[in-house]
Structure 1
Amino acid sequence: MINIKRLLIKWPNSFYELEIDFLNGKEGERVSVPLDYVYNAITEKDDKSIGYSPAIGIRLDKEGVYYPIQLRENTNYFISVTIPFTFELEAKLIDYLNGFPFTNLRLSSNFKVSPIKTWKEDIRDNQKFIIITGSLQTKNQVGILDLSLGERENLFCEVASSKINYQEDFQLLLTDIAKESTEILLQMGNLTGLNLDVQNEREADYLIMMFHLRSLFNADELPLALSTVLNNMHSKIVNENEIVDISLVKQPNIHKMASQGTTLPFNKGGVLASLFNGYTPIKMFETNKYETVDTPENRYIKHFLTEVESLCKKLFIQLQGKASKEKTNEIVFNSNLKELDGWLNIIHQYLSEPIWNQIQQLNHIPSNSQVLQKRKGYRQILQYDLRLQLGLKLAWHPSMVLEQTLADVRPIYELYEIWCFIKLRKICIDIFGAEKENTIIKVEKDLFSINLKKGRESKVVFKKNYEDKVVTATLFYNKEFQKHSYKSEMSYSLALKPDCSIKLVLDNKEGSVETFIHFDAKYRIDFFESNNKLISKNEDIIKMHAYKDAIRGSSGAYVLYPGTEESLYFQFHNRAIPSVGAFPLRTDNDIDLERIKCFIEKIIDEIETNQKC
Structure 2
Amino acid sequence: MEQHNSGGNLWMRLAGEEWVVLEEVYLTEASTYEWKYVMNGIEQPPIIYFCGQLLPLHRLEKHEAFGQLITPFSSGQISFKINGTKIDSYIYPDARKMTEEQYHLMLGDILNEASLCFEYSGIEIGITVDQHSRELSLAQWSYIEASFSLLRSMMRRVIEHPTRALQAHEQQIRREQVKMVDIQTLAWIERNRGRSITGTIPEIVKSSVREDSYNTYENRLLKRWLVELRHLLKLYRKQGPVEHAIRAEFYSDKIEHWLRAPFFKHVVTHQGLIRISQVFQKHPVYRQCYQWFESLYKHGNERIGLSYNYPLRETYALYEIWCYMQLIKVFREKGLLKDSKGLFRTTRKGLFLHFAEHNESVIQLNNGMRLSYQRVFQNDSPQFYTFTQRMVPDIVIEAGERLYILDPKYRVANNLGTALGEMHKYKDGILLRRNDERTVQSVFILTPVQSDGLRYFTEDFHERYSMGAVSLMPGSGIGPLSDFIDKLLVQEI
CA distance 1:445–1:549, shift in 2 (3 Å): same
C-alpha distance in 2 between matches for 1:561 and 1:500? 13
The reply to whether residue 400 of structure 1 matches residue 307 of structure 2 is yes
Q: Which residue of 2 aligns with 1:171?
A: 104
Q: Which residue of 2 aligns with 1:103?
A: 56
Q: 2:95 aligns with which of 162, 167, 171?
A: 162
Q: Which residue of 2 aligns with 1:79?
A: 35
8 A Cα contact 1:102 1:148, kept in partner: no
| Aligned alpha-carbon RMSD (Å) | 5.6
Larger radius of gyration: 1
CA distance 1:540–1:322, shift in 2 (3 Å): same
Q: Which residue of 2 aligns with 1:319?
A: 229
Q: Percent of aligned positions with the same letter in both sequences?
A: 17
The reply to whether residue 329 of structure 1 matches residue 262 of structure 2 is no
Q: 1:544 aligns with which of 423, 437, 447?
A: 423
8 A Cα contact 1:481 1:489, kept in partner: yes
8 A Cα contact 1:501 1:517, kept in partner: yes
CA distance 1:163–1:487, shift in 2 (3 Å): same
Q: Which residue of 2 aligns with 1:584?
A: 471
Q: Which residue of 2 aligns with 1:41?
A: 23
C-alpha distance in 1 between matches for 2:83 and 2:375? 42
C-alpha distance in 2 between matches for 1:539 and 1:137? 28
> 2:328 aligns to what SS in structure 1?
helix
8 A Cα contact 2:360 2:374, kept in partner: yes
Q: Which residue of 1 aligns with 2:408?
A: 521
Matches within 5 A, 1:403-482: 405-406=311-312, 408=313, 411-445=314-348, 447-463=350-366, 471-482=367-378
Q: Which residue of 1 aligns with 2:179?
A: none
CA distance 1:320–1:573, shift in 2 (3 Å): closer
TM-score by length of 1: 0.45
Unmatched segments (≥5 aa) in structure 2: 46-53, 145-220, 238-245, 256-272, 282-297, 432-438
What amino acid maps onto 2:365 in structure 1?
Answer: F
Number of paired residues?
A: 352
8 A Cα contact 1:142 1:159, kept in partner: no
C-alpha distance in 2 between matches for 1:490 and 1:417? 23
C-alpha distance in 2 between matches for 1:312 and 1:415? 31
What amino acid maps onto 2:228 in structure 1?
Answer: Q
Task: Report the CA distance between 1:551 and its aligned residue.
Answer: 1.7
> 2:24 aligns to what SS in structure 1?
strand
Matches within 5 A, 1:54-453: 55-56=26-27, 70-71=28-29, 73=31, 79-82=35-38, 103=56, 119-121=61-63, 131-133=64-66, 143=73, 161-163=94-96, 165-185=98-118, 187=119, 191-194=122-125, 204-207=134-137, 210=140, 317-322=227-232, 328-329=247-248, 396-401=303-308, 405-406=311-312, 408=313, 411-445=314-348, 447-453=350-356
C-alpha distance in 2 between matches for 1:179 and 1:587? 14
C-alpha distance in 2 between matches for 1:85 and 1:330? 40
Task: Report the CA distance between 1:171 and its aligned residue.
Answer: 3.0
Task: Report the CA distance between 1:453 and its aligned residue.
Answer: 0.3
Q: Which residue of 2 aligns with 1:503?
A: 398
CA distance 1:213–1:163, shift in 2 (3 Å): closer
CA distance 1:497–1:345, shift in 2 (3 Å): farther
C-alpha distance in 1 between matches for 2:395 and 2:109? 18
Task: Report the CA distance between 1:478 and its aligned residue.
Answer: 0.5
8 A Cα contact 2:397 2:403, kept in partner: yes
Which string of whole-angstrom CA distances, capped at 9 and with x for unpartnered residues, describes residues 564-608 of structure 1? 117566999597375111112111200xx2112212221222245
CA distance 1:429–1:80, shift in 2 (3 Å): same
C-alpha distance in 2 between matches for 1:421 and 1:581? 18
TM-score by length of 2: 0.55
CA distance 1:563–1:195, shift in 2 (3 Å): closer
Task: Report the CA distance between 1:438 and its aligned residue.
Answer: 2.6
8 A Cα contact 1:500 1:520, kept in partner: yes
What amino acid maps onto 1:42 in structure 2?
Answer: E
What amino acid maps onto 1:493 in structure 2?
Answer: T
Task: Report the CA distance between 1:420 and its aligned residue.
Answer: 1.2
8 A Cα contact 1:560 1:584, kept in partner: yes
What amino acid maps onto 1:481 in structure 2?
Answer: F
8 A Cα contact 1:570 1:579, kept in partner: no
Unmatched segments (≥5 aa) in structure 1: 11-15, 31-39, 44-54, 57-69, 90-100, 122-130, 215-310, 336-343, 353-387, 464-470, 506-513, 528-535, 609-613
